[in-house]
Amino acid sequence: MARTPFIAGNWKLNLTVSEGVALAKGLVGALKPGVEVAVCPTFLALYPVAQAVAGSALGVGGQNCYWEEKGAFTGEASASFLKDAGAKYVILGHSERRQYFGETDATINKRLKAVLAQGLVPILCIGETLAERDGGLLQQVLKTQIEGSLAGFTAAQLETLVVAYEPVWAIGTGRTASSAQAQEAHAFVRSVLRGVVGDLADRVRIQYGGSVKADNAKELLSQPDIDGALVGGASLKLADFSAIIAAA
């Protein structure tokens, strides 16, 4: 079935407020009909970027959120805070959050609940390390991450779910999964989703993330189960990100 391509830029810990606003304004002119596009700035830049592109089709998202609404949680931002700042999307479970900040499927599950309660669109990140892939654990890892992150949710609750498959070994390394490798993983992810949410799996958009660039985007996005991209480094440059949008 037809799924609207979705390209999201994860700016990570990059771009000052002024730099982010300038890039976002430039991206408004690069939007294409039939392609959903969002950028995910730092917490500090989220509100100014959202204000700068208000009224346009460019969406804005957070890179993470905490599961509690408010309280004594120094350094955290809740889903309601992100929504109030202008966010529509929230990235959850990025491999860097798992690697550096102790994220687990259980904590991601709690964050997902908070995000959905605020009516925000979750971008759930999953993916295997090189050691896991080489060890033949690709499917086991992906299945465990999907089922753990989505435990306790019904298909009706997950209508807006977006999944981003990111082979960890291809993030920021310059290495990219071949289009065949990426499609194989995406097809498997969709099969696991079918076991969790039934027919909704055919409507869930699955992005590919892992050194997506202007020169490989078209081939990756042409695969039947690849519905977009979660873009890191290439989303920081107007020309590169615009080319990826055009490829979609």
**pLDDT tens string 71-95:** 999 999 999 999 999 999 999 999 9
In the chain the domains, ranked by start, together with CATH numbers, are 16-28+35-55 (no CATH), 63-67+76-173+188-227 (3.20.20.70)
| Tokens 């993916």 sit on residue | 127
User: Left, alpha or beta for 34 (phi > 0: left; psi -120 to 50: alpha)?
Assistant: left
Phi, psi dihedral angles at 151 (to 5 degrees): -55, 130
20 to 41, 65, 84, 163, 223: CA distances (angstroms) = 7, 20, 19, 25, 31
Q: Which ranges in the chain belong to alpha helices (H)?
A: 17-28, 43-52, 79-84, 95-101, 105-117, 130-134, 138-149, 179-197, 214-221, 238-247
Contact 208, 229 (CB under 8 A): yes
User: Left, alpha or beta for 61 (phi > 0: left; psi -120 to 50: alpha)?
Assistant: beta
Q: What secondary structure does DSSP assign to 159-179, as a single string?
A: TT-EEEE--GGGSSSS----H
- The pLDDT, as a whole number, for residue 174 is 72
Per the residue annotation, which of 36, 94, 96, 186 is the catalytic one?
94
Residue 170 has pLDDT above 90, yes or no: no
What pairing do the DSSP bridges indicate for beta strands 6-10 and 205-208?
unpaired
107-119: b (≥16 Cβ within 10 Å) or e: bbbebbebbbebe
Per the residue annotation, which of 36, 96, 128, 166 is the catalytic one?
166
Both tokens assigned to 51: 């204000």
pLDDT in tens, 126-151: 999 988 988 999 999 999 999 999 99
CA 50 – CA 122 distance, rounded (Å): 17
The reply to whether 94 belongs to the active site is: yes
The reply to whether 186 belongs to the active site is: no
Cβ-based burial of 148 (10 A; exposed 0-12, middle 13-18, buried ≥19):
middle
Contact 235, 213 (CB under 8 A): no
CA 84 – CA 78 distance, rounded (Å): 10
Among the listed residues 156, 76, 72, 60, the one whose alpha carbon sits nearest the alpha carbon of residue 110: 76
Total residue length of the chain = 248
- The pLDDT, as a whole number, for residue 173 is 73
- Which percentage of the chain shows pLDDT scores above 70? 100
Task: Supply the mean pLDDT for the chain.
Answer: 96
Among the listed residues 9, 57, 43, 56, the one whose alpha carbon sits nearest the alpha carbon of residue 236: 9
pLDDT in tens, 180-228: 999 999 999 999 999 999 999 999 999 999 889 999 999 999 999 999 9
